[in-house]
């Protein structure tokens, strides 16, 4: 199972773009990269998932370079409500029963 490394914390201001980078040097061929968001006292919530290059949805973009050893979650124009912990996960998409490793996550604090 590939292990991930991400910054423990980040600060930002409302309206800024935030980029959170995750390192996963041992990513395997079958692994997908998934990001979750967690607010205090709640379960994690899916943000975005990708395999390579770039994926965009209504809330975020995910950039994955060709070697796939890292990925960057981009949150455009953050607001106070984006203050949360963000987890990067790497897991086998076709086997392993969906076993995922949650690291410590990145605690994002958005200030007014």
Give the residues lining the site for another protein (CB under 8 A): 32, 34, 36, 41-46, 49, 87, 91-105
Beta carbon nearer to another protein, 37 or 70: 37
- How far, in Å, CA of 51 to CA of 83, rounded? 26
Q: Tokens 């029963």 belong to which residue?
A: 97
Beta carbon nearer to another protein, 16 or 85: 85
Shortest Å, Cβ 25 to another protein: 18
CB 71 within 8 A of CB 22: yes
CB-facing half-sphere around the CA of 26: CA atoms within 13 A: 7
Beta carbon nearer to another protein, 15 or 96: 96
């Amino acid at each position: 199972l590939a292990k991930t490394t991400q910054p423990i914390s980040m600060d930002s201001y409302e309206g800024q773009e935030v980029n959170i980078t995750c390192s996963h040097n041992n990513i395997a061929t079958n692994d997908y990269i998934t990001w979750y968001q967690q607010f205090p006292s709640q379960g994690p919530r899916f943000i975005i998932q990708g395999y390579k290059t770039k994926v965009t949805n209504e809330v975020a973009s995910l950039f994955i370079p060709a070697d796939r050893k890292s990925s960057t979650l981009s949150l455009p124009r953050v607001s106070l409500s984006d203050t949360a912990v963000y987890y990067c996960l790497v897991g086998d998409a076709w086997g392993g029963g969906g076993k995922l490793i949650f690291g410590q996550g990145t605690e994002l604090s958005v200030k007014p």
